[in-house]
Amino acid sequence: MGPDQLNPGTAQATSAGACVAVKPETGTRGFVDGAWWPRSVSPTTEFTALLTALAATRGPMTRLAYNPAAWEPAPRKLRIEGHQVRLEGFHTLDQHTVSLTDPSGHRMVLLVIPADTTELRGNAVLMRASEPDNVATPRDLLADAPNSVPAVVPQPTEASPEARWETDGGHLLAVR
């Protein structure tokens, strides 16, 4: 499945090379609003492609915040389709996210899929992150293997609330 075959209406692949999938406006607010899969760690190339793709579907952005530890050195500003976009590096941001702000102040957080991710895994993460009801953390989204079924780990059954109390460090007095 290539980038052009992702969820129609939420994903787009542009001629500039950006592969981005965004939740619908009516989607559940979670840790991320979608995902972006850059092909390198060159901010000038990749941020330009992302901002161009988003301008076509969501309108222009005024600010892009990123973690500089995850990228090569970046300029402070980019000009995208006649609009200036301020680039701001913050070491406190998750290395696997970028935060974008539009002119009205609306913020969008996108998961950044590592550039060296395989096509199967990258497409699976793009689709999952852009699901309307997704509330998974960036770490969980990147940790999940595509098409995997979570292993069912049998949980020991508790005989009673008293048994749980005993295993949590409490102590019941013996009644004589």
Does residue 176 lie within any of the structural domains?
no
pLDDT of residue 26: 86
**Span of 42-46, 115-119, 126-130, 155-159 with lowest mean pLDDT:** 155-159
Instruction: State which residues form the domain around 44.
Output: 3-167
pLDDT of residue 27: 82
pLDDT tens per residue, range 48-92: 999 999 999 999 999 999 999 999 999 999 999 999 999 999 999
Does residue 173 lie within any of the structural domains?
no
Does residue 69 lie within any of the structural domains?
yes
Does residue 175 lie within any of the structural domains?
no
pLDDT tens per residue, range 140-170: 999 964 444 443 444 455 455 565 555 555 5
Does residue 67 lie within any of the structural domains?
yes
Does residue 174 lie within any of the structural domains?
no
Does residue 46 lie within any of the structural domains?
yes
Q: How many domains does the chain divide into?
A: 1
pLDDT tens per residue, range 10-52: 444 443 567 999 999 888 889 999 999 999 999 999 999 999 9
Does residue 163 lie within any of the structural domains?
yes
Residue with tokens 């995997």: 148
pLDDT tens per residue, range 98-110: 999 999 999 999 9
